[in-house]
Amino acid sequence: MLDSTTNLRDGLPKGIHRIRALPDPQLALLWDSIHVGAGQKEQLLSQAVLNFTLRAQVPRTVLPLHGVILLVGPPGTGKTSLALGLADRVARSFKSNGFRLVEVDPHQLANSALGKTQRAVSDLFSEALRSVAGSAPTVVLLDEVETLAVDRSRLSMDANPIDVHRATDAVLVQLDLLAESNPNLLFVATSNFPQALDEAFTSRCDLVIEVPLPDIEGCRRILGDCVLGLGQTYPTIGRLVGAEGFDAAVAACVGLDGRAIRKAVGNALASSPETAMDPGKVTLADIHGAAEAARKARLAAGGKA
């Protein structure tokens, strides 16, 4: 029977967007497609692996791990992709079947009728996640977690219903309970707004990784990856990597995030109706121009590029 905690769209409990079996080749591709600073992926994977090796063995009085990793950084820097890819990687590390990924949609909870957010959050953490995970090792993606773990010290009681405060309280209480009872759970949370997160939430994270805008080497790898990927379909585009003008196009990308760099290439492919009709005609000058335009647009919008 469906009740108020059931997601009517697909029969999943309210707040759960999707459940996948791991490993998943699509997620492996995502992980490989994201270029971040040296050592960041290794650090993420190591922390995630430790979650599943150590937590069931060592008392929390010795090492109070909560099983929460947080990725923070500007929009479009690859946080969600890394979180999804990490789930796949950690499952592969153990070479055992049975790992799962549960994707939570915090907006489904926060959009609950006024006064019901706290209840929805409690139900998700205390019942739905427990029953979905069972005893199987499970990674839970909490994307845009600032919706759930709102910084209570910044909330005015006038503008925000007490329910929002209580929803954050509920998240914290439930995280403590799950940390105690479910060492086979790992939460991977992402946020664009670390300053909007409640400090008590951040303090429960076992690792906080900052994913910044790519530096020039990062831009080179992202642009190169994108251009080489297009080269699979349009061989002339693949030959642009390392050609004269490539370095200048890379330099024009500095200040853009990874998503914006890939979108600038997309804009370059649409720089004229002729190129759009035959994308293999795109030039490095087109890509350079599109990256410059993206940076200007960002500046005009008050961004930092």
Ligand X SMILES: Nc1ncnc2c1ncn2[C@@H]1O[C@H](COP(=O)(O)OP(=O)(O)OP(=O)(O)O)[C@@H](O)[C@H]1O
Residues that bind ligand X (CB under 6 A): 33-36, 75-81, 190, 192, 214, 222, 257-259, 262
Element (H, E) at 203: helix 199-204
If the CB atoms of residues 52 and 187 are measured against ligand X, the closer one turns out to be 187
Q: How far is the CB of 190 from Mg ion (least distance, A)?
A: 5
If the CB atoms of residues 30 and 129 are measured against Mg ion, the closer one turns out to be 30
Question: What token pair was written down for 62?
Answer: 């010795």
Cβ count within 10 A of residue 265: 22
If the CB atoms of residues 16 and 189 are measured against Mg ion, the closer one turns out to be 189
Which residue lies nearest ligand X, judged by its C-beta? 258
If the CB atoms of residues 80 and 117 are measured against Mg ion, the closer one turns out to be 80
- Give the range of 44-52, 74-82, 95-103, 181-189 binding Mg ion by CB under 5 A: 74-82
Q: How far is the CB of 234 from Mg ion (least distance, A)?
A: 29
Q: What is the DSSP letter of 149?
A: S
If the CB atoms of residues 143 and 163 are measured against ligand X, the closer one turns out to be 143
Does residue number 81 form part of the binding site for Mg ion (CB under 5 A)? no
CA distances from 12 to 80, 111, 136, 170 (A): 21, 17, 18, 21
CA distances from 134 to 87, 100, 183, 244, 258 (A): 17, 11, 11, 56, 36
- Give the range of 75-83, 97-105, 175-183, 285-293 binding Mg ion by CB under 5 A: 75-83
Does residue number 112 form part of the binding site for Mg ion (CB under 5 A)? no
- Give the range of 21-29, 76-84, 146-154, 218-226 binding Mg ion by CB under 5 A: 76-84
If the CB atoms of residues 85 and 183 are measured against Mg ion, the closer one turns out to be 85
Burial (CB < 10 A; 0-12, 13-18, 19+), residue 296, is exposed
Return the bridge partners of 69, or none: 188, 207
If the CB atoms of residues 79 and 288 are measured against ligand X, the closer one turns out to be 79
Element (H, E) at 25: helix 25-33
Q: Are the CB atoms for 224 and 253 separated by under 8 Å?
A: no
Residue 81 interacts with, from Mg ion, ligand X, none (CB under 5-8 Å by kind): ligand X
Q: CA angle at residue 194 from 193 to 199, to 5 degrees?
A: 135
Which of 40, 47, 80, 182 touches Mg ion by CB under 5 A? 80
CA distances from 185 to 15, 83, 128, 181, 303 (A): 17, 14, 13, 9, 37
Question: Helix, strand, coil proportions of the chain in percent (round to 5)?
Answer: 55, 10, 35
If the CB atoms of residues 37 and 289 are measured against ligand X, the closer one turns out to be 37
- Beginning with the edge strand found earlier in the chain, give each strand of the sheet holding 68-72 in spatial order: 16-21, 100-104, 138-142, 185-191, 68-72, 207-210
Does residue number 271 form part of the binding site for Mg ion (CB under 5 A)? no
Residue 249 interacts with, from ligand X, Mg ion, none (CB under 5-8 Å by kind): none
- Give the range of 78-86, 158-166, 172-180, 226-234 binding Mg ion by CB under 5 A: 78-86
Which residue lies nearest Mg ion, judged by its C-beta? 80
* Number of residues forming the site for Mg ion (CB under 5 A): 1
Q: Are the CB atoms for 129 and 19 separated by under 8 Å?
A: no
**Sites of contact with Mg ion (CB under 5 A):** 80
